[in-house]
Amino acid sequence: MVVVALEDEKYLVSMLGPASNWVQNVEAAHGDAILRQRRRRRVHLVEIPTSERPPILSEYVRVATSGRNHLPVAVGAPMSEFEAIAERYPVFRIDPS
CA 54/CA 75 separation, integer angstroms: 12
Asked if residues 32 and 97 have their Cβ atoms less than 8 Å apart, the reply is yes
Nearest to 67 by CA among 5, 6, 17: 17
The CATH code for residues 3-96 is: 2.30.110.10
**Nearby residues of 28 by Cβ (< 8 Å), 6 or more positions away:** none
Mean pLDDT along residues 61-67: 90
pLDDT per position as a tens digit, 15-60: 999 999 999 999 999 999 999 988 999 999 999 999 999 999 999 9
Indicate if the pLDDT at residue 96 is higher than 90: yes
Four-residue CA torsion sign, 49, 52, 57, 59: negative
Domain ranges for the chain: 3-96
pLDDT attached to residue 53: 98
Work out the burial of residue 7: count CB atoms within 10 Å of its CB; fewer than 13 is exposed, 13-18 middle, 19 or more buried: exposed
pLDDT attached to residue 80: 98
pTM of the model: 0.93
CA 86/CA 11 separation, integer angstroms: 14
